Chain A
Amino acid sequence: MKKIKSPDDLAKLRKRILDKRDPDKPCITICYGTGCHAYGCEEVGSKFKDEVKKKNLGDKVDIRTTGCHGFCERGPIVVVHPEGIFYQRVKLEDIEEIISETIIKKNIIDRLLYVEPNTDKKIVKEKDVPFYKLQQRIIFGNNGLIDPTSIDDYIALDGYSALCKAFIMKPKEIIEEVKKSGLRGRGGGGFPTGRKWESCRNAKSRDGVKYVICNADEGDPGAYMDRSLLEGNPHSVIEGMLIGAYAIGSNDSYVYVRNEYPLAVKNLEIAIRQAEEYGLLGENILGSKFNFRIKISRGGGAFVCGESTALIASIEGKRGEPRAKYIHTVEKGLWNRPTNLNNVETWANIPLIINKGAKWYSSIGTEKSKGTKIFSLVGKINNTGLVEVPMGISLREIIYDIGGGIPKGRKFKAVQTGGPSGGCIPEELLDLTIDYEKLTEAGSMMGSGGMIVMDEDTCMVDVAKYFLKFLEGESCGKCEPCRLGIHRMLEIVDGISKGEGKDGDIELLQELGEIVKETSLCGLGQTAPNPVLSTIRYFKDEYEAHIQDKRCPAGVCRELIRYSIIEEKCNGCGRCAKECPQEAISGEKKKVHKIEQDKCIKCGICFEVCKFEAVVVR
């Protein structure tokens, strides 16, 4: 590969790439995100390639394996361009038909189309699917169009043009632009990015060395937007880091990515190598005399290493533990040098801001929160996946319009935002518009963008217990309120869920929670009580039912529920008795069965297998 030596060279290269491409030539894009990998997209992809070869269509159709499209519920996803025909849940046996029908005869295969559950309408084009239609995919949209292992694909879509533009600007102008855009840290803290850059630029380094770090240590259960960005569009992150480093005056950087993200690491490694070969990383980038290197640092998977100071300690080779941030990392960070750390999504926003301008960017969103945010919508929701929405959208729109509501017609109960240390937001606040401040006011937080939807079958005490358990295991244990406080809160909540709760437990949880929040050393401890405090705030009656009536209203907490058979409904089919692992169900054939409570281990198998809804849980 020839090195690109100037912005003009880059423009010429882009023209050459585009000239080679025929916009009308059919292109089959196959989602190669981690979600679709689980559905077997790799086999689908190779079968497509084989089939094209077999039919000698090599010069008539392109096959492109792309990053995550976001609609993970419906994988493997195949989109046929230029029409944008959206096929979902594609199986190996469908491939021949797609090629012979759609590619050659231009017919649409009805059974592979997405059916809108409410109207039973079949939708042909990707952009018309409600899941995509209501989103504003300014950052995530390119994921479905480019092959992450090909830098040419990124360059063809105006990639690295923001960098060229940035090199014409003065560093201070870039910072000013980012400040004006109103971009705030997408990792959860929400600190204004431009101000952070400015402090880092102004900070003095004893030997002039400054560092830039990309935080890709995404650890929230159920959240995977950073992974999908790194997997699907690594060059947008690299370009963002290049612009940031140029503005700050840094020549060295790290991407701290967890080792559990093998595909993200692989695609990022490829992207860095390709950028180096093109001269977009290294010395004298595009003839600007600016040097920049990116190193990958792989984390061992500790949740706390997503905290900036713990992350820095981990890169330094020390125990991944946070330190107090009374002296900010922009002044003394990695190896005591000024360090600017931003999250993957924040970096990916930068090229857009430079290219389209702060004015355009700040027109999206609310007064204090600008731009879009990617959420990973998971849990009891019809359309599981990644959604990118403008700030200021309401929770109801995300859950019902984009997410398609709750499966099986069940009732919505709460949505947990902000990962394990976020809070649960109840139904009465569904019209809450999403921005940093509003979520915090509601007792939750933006976090990195996890969004777990819960229905009426979810017990809120159980939810609090789950998150506390996660945090207890992930606390580094350095500071005492977090180490002991979370442990004690878990102990109390566990007791409540087992029917051992007593009067005063709720008040003790609240008192302890507030103090853990106030006195903990780092963000993990300072937010850890949120799941408990927010569930107490909005679902106090459930706690009280557990404590006073020794009853779990949602029928989840094992110690507090019992299964029984309704005589009128049981026809004696014997299915439950056959499946019961404890042989706790007895009864003659065609006669009413009975559960012996002292043998029952409350596994719930009888409840699930009964076709006549005769087994009930109380």
Chain B
Amino acid sequence: MVNLTINGMRVQIEEGTTILEACRWLGINIPTLCYHEGLSPYGACRLCSVEITKGGRSRLVASCLYPVEEGLIVRTHSQKVVKARKMIVELLLSSCPNSKKLQDLASQMGVEKVRFKMEESDCILCGLCVRMCEEQMMAGAIGFINRGYNRKVATAFNVKSEVCRNCGACMYICPVVEVQCRGVKSPGELCNACLNFSPTCLESYPDVMCFMDSCGSCVRSQKTEEHKSTKKSTVHSP
């Protein structure tokens, strides 16, 4: 067993567990896009980033890949983390604005504006389909082609793969293959229609963790600086 601190709590976790698994087991919600329990962790979407402190230095790491370590201090919703996650959602939304999954995430996190040019792409390149095909279906019919911004999921040479069995697992696991969100208006705006259904939780909290997932009791009124400062003084570590 490994002793570490997550959001101020001292916990004991089995060795070899990742931070994400540990947090989910403890009931702490960390958003993910490219993670799936049945597949190997990939670390591509970076949405699961958490702040770790080790040897006095803190940095962001992908919790889906980082194994728990003795003495590690983990913060899953620190200011730095929340800011980074919001930017990641904003970036993803700018390229795939019609994805319901992303729109929901934006609503949950309180992302209300996209400051980049809106594009019309569907695939978020999470790679779940590629890993599903290879690891669970043992086919390896699809993979990535091209580099950087031109990266795409495709079959080899863009022809129908001989090893594809039309099983549909790739579609089953795809997080964006669902009825598209129709809320998007002009570029720069977001649907945010679901904003009130899944209210934003506390903006950030360094050491104390609310275990309710988006209960709404602490929502948007707390955004004001004044509220934040009073909040800080009332919060104390366990």
Contacts and interface: CB of A to CB of B under 8 A. Distances in A.
Interface of A: 302, 304, 319, 323-324, 326-327, 472-481, 483-488, 491, 504, 508, 511-512, 515, 518-521
B144 A479 contact: no
A488 B149 CA distance: 10
Interface centre among A326, A476, A485, A512 (most CB of B within 10 A): A326
A316 B140 CA distance: 17
17 contacts: A326-B61, A326-B65, A474-B147, A475-B148, A476-B147, A477-B125, A477-B146, A477-B148, A477-B151, A479-B45, A480-B91, A481-B91, A504-B115, A508-B115, A519-B84, A520-B46, A521-B62
B147 A521 contact: no
Contacts of B117: 491
Given A326-B65, A326-B66, A491-B116, A481 B148 contact: no
Interface in B122-145: 124-125, 127, 143-144
Nearest to B85: A519
Interface centre among A304, A475, A481, A491 (most CB of B within 10 A): A481
Interface string B45-74: 110010000000001111001110000000
B149 A472 contact: yes
Interface of B: 43-46, 49, 59-62, 65-67, 80, 83-84, 87-88, 91-92, 94-95, 115-117, 124-125, 127, 143-144, 146-151
Given A324-B43, A324-B66, A515-B84, 4 more contacts: A477-B125, A477-B149, A478-B151, A480-B46
A511 B87 contact: yes
Closest 5 CB pairs of A and B: A477-B151, A475-B148, A484-B91, A324-B65, A515-B87
A479 B43 contact: yes
B91 A485 contact: yes
A515 B67 contact: no
A324 B148 contact: no
Given A326-B65, A472-B148, A480 B43 contact: no
Contacts of B80: 518
B144 A488 contact: no
Nearest to A484: B91
Contacts of A323: 43
Contact of B60 (A326, A491, A519): A519
A319 B88 contact: no
B150 A519 contact: no
Given A488-B116, A491-B116, A483 B149 contact: yes
Contacts of B115: 504, 508
Nearest to B146: A477
B149 A521 contact: no
Nearest to B59: A518
Contacts of A327: 67
B62 A483 contact: no
Contact of A480 (B60, B61, B65, B88): B88
Nearest to A495: B117
Interface centre among A319, A327, A484 (most CB of B within 10 A): A484
A518 B80 CA distance: 10
B34 to A, nearest CB: 8
A480 B95 CA distance: 11
A484 B97 CA distance: 14
Nearest to A326: B66
Interface centre among A304, A485, A520 (most CB of B within 10 A): A485
Contacts of A504: 115
Contact of B144 (A319, A475, A485, A519): A319
A521 B94 contact: no
B46 A479 contact: yes
A446 B10 CA distance: 39
Contacts of B92: 480, 484
Contacts of B91: 480-481, 484-485, 488
B147 A477 contact: yes
Interface centre among B60, B92, B95, B149 (most CB of A within 10 A): B149
Contact of B46 (A475, A491, A519): A519
Contacts of B147: 302, 304, 473-477
A319 B67 contact: no
Contacts of A521: 43-44, 46, 62
B75 to A, nearest CB: 14
Given A518-B60, A521-B46, A484 B84 contact: no
Contacts of B124: 480
Contacts of B143: 319
